[in-house]
Amino acid sequence: MTAWLKGGNTAVITGAAGGIGLEAARRFSAAGMNVVLADVNAEALEAAKTSFPNSSGVLTRVCDVSDPAAVSALSETASAEFGPVHCLMNNAGIARMGTKPWENIDAFKSMLDINLMGVVHGCHAFIPSMLAHGEPGAIINTASKQGITRPPGNYAYNLSKAGVLAYTESVAHALRAEEGCQLAAHLLVPGFVYTPMISRFIPQKPPFAATAEETVDFMMDRLDSGDFYIICPDNETPRSLDEKRIQWTADDIIKNRPALSRWHPDFEAAYKKFVQG
């Protein structure tokens, strides 16, 4: 059993009005934890709160994670309401249709402010007090497979999630160096999950998409095993294919292939052979 996942402890989840964040909050609540649901959508937050069988240990707060002062206020509110925080899940994120890498600088900045800096702001606001109370705890940062293999078409999203990967690796390493530290960092890497963020672009759930419930099932199992990289499957992409894609991407650097050679016409046959081998 994950040591921090127990009655009376507290979890704070951003991006918690729907999708993966809301499902994670439900699991933590079912284990007896107090949960703080944070999101920018006040109406969706209130609807989410009504879905909990027992709302006495559920607190909702509107919070823009791109604003460090707002995230610091969230930390203070959570502690004042429930005491020490034992799990921080930095899950808030946005997706937009891709543009060319030299276009729409404002959209690029907002993507980084929410997807990457929202994670950084959460860690800065919560980790010092989580270290101070000295009890077991977890930092769970939501990344994306697009931050690992970086497919063309949405460079800003890829960059934001690649940043979450690199930042969370640094957090995990730094926590290991803290004497007596009982906090662990985890990188949640969902597959293709049909959430409200995706349904804005795709009205009907594709059969290959995973659900938030399936994703959180997998996350809870891997947290119990202590995994750092929680690379989730979906109904199209098994672990074996993820590994092939990740290996090919790493080999672009080692073998000095063209950037993103997986999508380069000269390497189409070689890539197909590699994943089928």
For residue 166, the model assigns a pLDDT of 98
The pLDDT-based confidence of 208 (bands split at 50, 70, 90) is confident
In DSSP terms, which residues pair with 122 in a beta bridge?
A: none
Residue type, 225: S
Whether 167 is catalytic: no
Tell me how many degrees the CA angle 13-14-18 measures, rounded to the nearest 5. Answer: 90
Contacts of 22 (CB under 8 A, 6+ apart): 13, 16, 37, 48, 51, 212
Range in 194-203, 254-263, 264-273 the model is least confident about:
194-203
CA dihedral 188, 58, 112, 234 (to 10 degrees): 30
Average pLDDT on 243-262 reads 98
Pairing assessment for the beta strands 137-142 and 229-231 based on DSSP bridges: unpaired
Q: What distances in angstroms separate CA 145 from CA 52, 227, 246, one per listed residue?
A: 30, 16, 9
Query: Which pLDDT belongs to residue 197?
Result: 67
pLDDT at 200 over 80: no
- Give the Cα separation of 140 and 188 in Å (integer): 7
CATH match of 10-236 with 3.40.50.720: yes
Segment 49-77 shows an average pLDDT of 95
> From the candidates 155, 157, 167, 194, which is the catalytic residue?
157
What's the rounded mean pLDDT across residues 186-199?
85
Task: Look up the pTM and report it.
Answer: 0.95
pLDDT at position 55, please? Answer: 82
Angle in degrees, 0-180, between the axes of helices 19-30 and 212-225, rounded to the nearest 10: 50
Q: What is the mean pLDDT of residues 143-168?
A: 96
Q: What percent of the chain has pLDDT over 90?
A: 87
Range in 63-67, 76-80, 101-105, 260-264 with the lowest mean pLDDT: 101-105
Segment 227-248 mean pLDDT: 95
Q: Which long-range contacts (CB under 8 A, 24 or more apart) does 241-246 make?
A: 241/275, 242/145, 244/274, 244/275, 245/145, 245/149, 245/275, 246/148, 246/149
Among 154, 159, 235, 238, which residue's Cα sits nearest to residue 192?
235
Contacts of 170 (CB under 8 A, 6+ apart): none
Per-residue pLDDT tens digits for 112-150? 999 999 999 999 999 999 999 999 999 999 999 999 999
Q: How does the average pLDDT of the chain come out, rounded?
A: 95
Within 8 A by CB and 6+ apart from 32, the residues are: 6, 7, 8, 9
Beta strands in 118-210 (DSSP E): 137-142, 183-189
Per-domain boundaries in the chain: 10-236, 238-277
Mean pLDDT computed over 18-47: 97
What token pair was written down for 254? Answer: 């080692």
Burial, 103: exposed, middle or buried (Cβ in 10 Å; 0-12, 13-18, 19+)?
A: exposed
- E strand map for the chain: 10-14, 34-39, 58-62, 87-90, 137-142, 183-189, 229-231
Question: Residue 41 is inside which H or E element, if any?
Answer: none
